[in-house]
């Protein structure tokens, strides 16, 4: 294991993960435009976005199985190549069915590649620096999400019709990932194997952080799905600054969370961040001025940014090092499940209660995430 975080191998792995994220995030905001162009249907356009998320969720379970049986680098190369092939074939796609199938293949390949690459990074890190290392590496997705949509619209042009150019850019970014993966070095796994009963206990214990993160992802999906519509209903107009401030809070959390945990303890930090998320969601529902919404953005992003790497690290530390692929897959699957189920159910709730009701209910649900955390800690200390 490496004593320091910012080794050459870790920095290189971060760059690879950034490239892995870039291709899919270039399509994230505009794939529905392409789907509508091919099908003429808003419903079918939405399904183009959904199939990527659903296939990505299935890929989390597939990746756990693969990483238990095959060399990590081989898994990375095979599925990055598959993602590159699907991205390349977009260029020649002329029908909705073809695009839909390619989007599903891309989702599976992206899900496996991301999980495998995150697992590779975990195995590079010394356990003492695992929390910080996971926190920094997960920023690659936020960075890709920040510039991906803007870059996509720039490539599409003013009439958003240059999709072949965009698909070429997606292919090149994924191809670059593949080339970079060829040169990564497999980390040394130096931890001693654990007893079978310890491993079995770990598999049971990982359910607790899984439930916490799935509950929180479900609650926070209310903001990703209905924040903009709620703002429009209140007459706020352009709320672009909210998302900028939210990302600032998230980035800030990655550089301060270790100090907060050292000061308060991990358990207290998790519970505190759950409360902040609940208050933020409730605040989004009741604000009446746009500046109040902007004030909520920073603590909301900060709490989300703290909790994600902490819960991910809890899952990894619960299991033997050989099961780090499973732990990463479980973490991503919990988030995917929450964000896939959320928008549909919150849409139903919005029709019954309005947007304010949605956010107040989401706040209450987010507090439920404290229940498994308290139960786990009580059981451990007995």
Arch. (CATH architecture) of 196-381: Up-down Bundle (1.20)
Are the CB atoms for 339 and 241 separated by under 8 Å? no
Query: Angle CA(78)–CA(99)–CA(94) in degrees, nearest 5?
Result: 125
Which pLDDT value is given to residue 198? 44
Which pLDDT value is given to residue 378? 46
**Do the domains spanning 8-181 and 196-381 agree at the CATH topology level?**
yes
Number of Cβ atoms within 10 Å of the Cβ of 65: 13
Quick check: 379 pLDDT over 50?
no
Are the CB atoms for 123 and 321 separated by under 8 Å? yes
- Better-predicted residue by pLDDT, 203 or 249: 249
Relative orientation angle of helices 207-233 and 290-318, to the nearest 10 degrees: 170
Chain centre distance of CA 101: 22
Q: If pLDDT is split at 50, 70 and 90, which confidence band does 319 have?
A: confident
Percentage helix, strand, coil, to 5, in the chain? 85, 0, 15
Q: What global pTM score does this model have?
A: 0.78
Q: If pLDDT is split at 50, 70 and 90, which confidence band does 204 have?
A: low
Considering 132-136, 180-184, 202-206, 278-282, the range whose residues carry the highest mean pLDDT is 278-282
Q: What are phi and psi of 236, to 5 degrees?
A: -75, -20
CA–CA dist 213, 277 (Å, integer): 12
Strand partners for 2:
125
Residue the block writes with tokens 């290392």: 133
Query: In whole numbers, what is the pLDDT of the chain averaged over residues?
Result: 85
Query: What percentage of the chain carries pLDDT values higher than 70?
Result: 92
Q: What is the mean pLDDT of residues 349-377?
A: 88
Q: If pLDDT is split at 50, 70 and 90, which confidence band does 150 have?
A: confident
Concatenate the DSSP letters of all residues of 273-335 into one string: HHHHHHHHHHHHHH--SHHHHHHHHHHHHHHHHHHHHHHHHHHHHHS-GGGHHHHHHHHHHHH
Which pLDDT value is given to residue 380? 39
Q: What is the mean pLDDT of residues 233-255?
A: 85
Which pLDDT value is given to residue 377? 53
Q: If pLDDT is split at 50, 70 and 90, which confidence band does 87 have?
A: very high
Which pLDDT value is given to residue 4? 78
Residue range 154-203, pLDDT digits in tens: 888 877 678 899 999 999 999 999 999 998 886 555 443 444 444 444 55
Q: What is the mean pLDDT of residues 312-331?
A: 81
Residue range 102-133, pLDDT digits in tens: 999 999 999 999 989 988 988 888 888 888 88
Domain ranges of the chain: 8-181, 196-381
CATH topology of domain 8-181: Growth Hormone; Chain: A; (1.20.1250)
Which pLDDT value is given to residue 364? 96
Q: What is the mean pLDDT of residues 126-142?
A: 85
Q: What is the mean pLDDT of residues 26-43?
A: 81
Q: 3-class DSSP state for residue 187?
A: coil
CA atoms within 13 A on the CB side of 305: 29
Which pLDDT value is given to residue 188? 57
Which pLDDT value is given to residue 1? 47
Tokens representing 134 are 């996971």
Residue range 88-104, pLDDT digits in tens: 999 998 899 999 999 99
Q: If pLDDT is split at 50, 70 and 90, which confidence band does 213 have?
A: very high
């Amino acid at each position: 294991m490496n004593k320091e975080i910012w080794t050459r191998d870790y920095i290189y792995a971060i760059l690879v993960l950034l490239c892995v994220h870039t291709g899919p995030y270039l399509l994230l905001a505009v794939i529905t435009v392409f789907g509508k162009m091919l099908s003429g249907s808003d419903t079918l356009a939405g399904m183009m976005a959904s199939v990527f998320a659903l296939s990505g969720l299935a890929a989390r379970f597939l990746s756990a199985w693969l990483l238990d049986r095959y060399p990590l680098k081989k898994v990375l190369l095979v599925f990055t190549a598959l993602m590159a092939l699907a991205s390349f074939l977009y260029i020649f796609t002329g029908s909705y069915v073809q695009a839909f199938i390619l989007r599903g293949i891309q989702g599976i390949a992206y899900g496996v590649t991301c999980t495998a690459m995150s697992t590779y990074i975990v195995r590079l890190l010394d356990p003492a620096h695992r929390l910080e290392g996971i926190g920094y590496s997960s920023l690659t997705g936020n960075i890709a999400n920040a510039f991906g949509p803007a870059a996509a619209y720039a490539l599409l042009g003013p009439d958003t019709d240059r999709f072949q150019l965009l698909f070429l850019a997606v292919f090149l970014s994924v191809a670059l990932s593949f080339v970079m993966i060829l040169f990564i070095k497999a980390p040394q796994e130096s931890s001693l194997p654990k007893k079978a009963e310890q491993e079995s206990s770990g598999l049971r214990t990982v359910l607790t952080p899984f439930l916490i993160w799935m509950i929180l992802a479900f609650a926070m999906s209310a903001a990703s799905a209905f924040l903009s519509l709620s703002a429009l209903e209140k007459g706020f107009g352009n709320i672009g600054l909210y998302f900028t401030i939210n990302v600032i809070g998230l980035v800030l959390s990655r550089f301060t969370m270790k100090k907060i945990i050292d000061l308060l303890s991990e358990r207290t930090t998790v519970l505190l961040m759950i409360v902040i998320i609940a208050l933020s969601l409730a605040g989004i529902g009741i604000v009446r001025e746009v500046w109040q919404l902007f004030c909520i953005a920073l603590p909301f992003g900060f709490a989300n940014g703290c909790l994600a790497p902490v819960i991910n690290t809890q899952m990894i530390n619960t299991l033997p090092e050989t099961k780090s692929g499973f732990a990463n897959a479980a973490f991503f699957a919990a988030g995917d499940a929450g964000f896939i189920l959320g928008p549909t159910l919150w849409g139903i709730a919005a029709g019954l209660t309005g947007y304010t009701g949605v956010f107040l209910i989401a706040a209450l649900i987010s507090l439920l995430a404290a229940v498994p955390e308290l139960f786990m800690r009580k059981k451990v200390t007995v």
